[in-house]
């Protein structure tokens, strides 16, 4: 019997694969340093864990509304007003099982077969897969290192066709840590309004903006807000990756469709996690700011170490917790007979030779680079780059 041809084309996430390989080696007692993690290395703040325990004691273990509890949706509304001066109502918010689930819902809600979605490249590995699963067509627009891995309004204009339905804006971005300025977002918004294109604004790393305050494209004007579907969650900012709480804020008609779709797929997110997330959003940002400060220190250290080597370089990221490291000077060389011709070769041979895990840039549409996460201690970051530099010096 045949299985789904569409789903058989889906490959596992390369970011999860490299992390799994590193964990397998660690489990055997090997001294592996992993730059592959896409999650904070900090524990969830204690007050959030206490809120979850309280939820259990209060018996908050039943089904909730499919789009999330009113309390959590109200907390999201309150946050968006406080942080961005954006006005939403609770019927414009849908809470899902993580921002990844939120994005999947969004593409199912807005895409018809053959619709095109513009995706800046480098891109987060799951964007094209999500678009394909909704029978859409990914259209890649290159964001070069020289342009700080950002695309311009002019780039978008050239990529628009009669079939263009949406564009993804991820700021701060995974994998590059790029952050769009308000001026850049304003110009992008003009193109999207002109062509009546949905803006899927993935803002999951907004709290991890290191230079200036975060900007949301939804704040440009009311017309832009109406076509913007904002996606966010608590995984990155509150170190709650395993809690699986994400949300969207958008036009009520879109939210209604997403809620209906979710009601037939997963129904409501975890009730206990929802209560804890509500408490998190209503709290001050003390723990969040402490984590952000440490990430910033690591960001600067990793940038300094990489650019202090002879064969490696990187652009300074302004958000998230990733750096894209340029490895093109290593291509065409070999380590103990193992040739390095591309980013997969680099990551594979490096892991075997020096027990350092990085993610191949090809997974993000960025051959010639590898992604490094600085969600690790300064000590491990320093040791990891030391090993990578040793590896490059041994290439022949």
Tell me how far apart the alpha carbons of residues 120 and 151 are, in angstroms, rounded to a whole number. Answer: 7
**Has residue 387 got a pLDDT over 80?**
yes
Please spell the DSSP secondary structure of 170-238, one letter per residue.
Answer: ESS-TTT-----HHHHHHHHHHHHHHT-EEEEE-TTTT-B-SS----GGGS-HHHHHHEEEEEESTTTT
Tokens of 348: 């594979």
**Residue 37: partners with Cβ closer than 8 Å, 6 or more residues away:** 19, 373, 375, 376
Residue 150: name the closest of 139, 142, 160 by CA.
Answer: 142
Give percent of the chain with pLDDT exceeding 90.
Answer: 92
pLDDT tens digits along 43-61: 999 999 999 999 999 999 9
**Has residue 14 got a pLDDT over 70?**
no
DSSP-derived pairing of the beta strands 198-202 and 164-170: parallel
Q: Which domains are present in the chain?
A: 5-43+287-393 (3.90.1150.10), 46-282 (3.40.640.10)
**Has residue 106 got a pLDDT over 70?**
yes
**Cross-strand bridge partners of residue 339:** 334
Q: What is the mean pLDDT of the chain?
A: 96
374-378-379 Cα angle (round to 5): 125
Tell me how far apart the alpha carbons of residues 201 and 106 are, in angstroms, rounded to a whole number. Answer: 11
Q: List, in sequence order, the alpha helices (H) in the chain.
A: 5-8, 14-27, 46-57, 70-84, 99-110, 126-133, 153-159, 182-195, 222-227, 252-265, 271-282, 286-307, 343-354, 378-393
Tell me how far apart the alpha carbons of residues 282 and 201 are, in angstroms, rounded to a whole number. Answer: 23
pLDDT of residue 384: 98
Going 234 to 236 to 240 to 244, the CA torsion angle's sign is positive
Tell me how far apart the alpha carbons of residues 230 and 216 are, in angstroms, rounded to a whole number. Answer: 8
pLDDT of residue 7: 87
Tokens of 117: 């979605």
Give percent of the chain with pLDDT exceeding 70.
Answer: 98
SS (H, E, C) 122-151: CCCCHHHHHHHHCCCEEEEEECCCCCCCCC
DSSP-derived pairing of the beta strands 116-121 and 164-170: parallel
The three-class DSSP label of residue 301 is helix
Tell me how far apart the alpha carbons of residues 312 and 376 are, in angstroms, rounded to a whole number. Answer: 20
**Has residue 111 got a pLDDT over 70?**
yes
pLDDT of residue 37: 79
pLDDT tens digits along 212-235: 999 999 999 999 999 999 999 999
């Amino acid at each position: 019997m045949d299985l789904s041809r569409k789903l058989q084309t889906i490959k596992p996430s390369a970011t999860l694969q490299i992390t799994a390989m590193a964990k397998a080696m660690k489990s055997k007692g090997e001294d592996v340093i992993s730059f592959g993690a896409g999650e904070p290395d900090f524990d969830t703040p204690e007050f959030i864990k206490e809120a979850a325990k309280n939820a259990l004691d209060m018996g908050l273990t039943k089904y909730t509304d499919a789009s999330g509890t009113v309390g959590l949706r109200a907390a999201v509304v309150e946050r968006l007003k406080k942080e961005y001066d954006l006005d939403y109502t609770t019927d414009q918010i849908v809470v899902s099982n993580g921002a990844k689930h939120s994005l999947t819902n969004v593409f199912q809600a807005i895409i018809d077969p053959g619709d095109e979605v513009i995706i800046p490249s480098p891109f987060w590995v799951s964007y094209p897969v999500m678009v394909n699963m909704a029978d859409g067509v990914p259209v890649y627009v290159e964001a070069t290192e020289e342009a700080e891995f950002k695309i311009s309004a002019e780039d978008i204009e050239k990529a628009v066709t009669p079939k263009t339905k949406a564009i993804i804006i991820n700021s701060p971005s995974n994998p590059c840590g790029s952050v769009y300025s308000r001026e850049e977002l304003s110009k992008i918004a003009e193109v999207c309004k002109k062509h009546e294109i949905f803006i899927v604004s993935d803002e999951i790393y907004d709290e991890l903006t290191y230079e200036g305050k975060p900007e949301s494209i939804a704040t440009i004007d009311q017309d832009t807000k109406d076509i913007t579907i904002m996606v966010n969650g608590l995984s990155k900012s509150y170190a709650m990756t395993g809690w699986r709480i994400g949300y969207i804020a958008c036009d009520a008609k879109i939210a209604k469709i997403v809620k209906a779709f979710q009601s037939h797929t997963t129904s409501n997110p975890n009730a206990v996690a929802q209560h804890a997330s509500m408490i998190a959003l209503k709290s001050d940002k003390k723990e969040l700011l402490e984590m952000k400060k440490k990430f910033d220190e690591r960001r600067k250290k990793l940038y300094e170490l990489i650019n202090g080597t002879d064969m490696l370089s990187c652009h300074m990221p302004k958000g998230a917790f990733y750096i894209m490291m340029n490895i093109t000077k290593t291509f065409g060389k070999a380590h103990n007979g193992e040739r390095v011709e591309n980013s997969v070769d680099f990551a594979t041979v490096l892991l075997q030779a020096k027990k350092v895990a990085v993610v191949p840039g090809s997974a993000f549409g960025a051959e010639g680079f590898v992604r490094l996460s600085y969600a690790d201690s300064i000590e491990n970051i320093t040791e990891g780059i030391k090993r990578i530099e040793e590896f490059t010096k041994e290439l022949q």
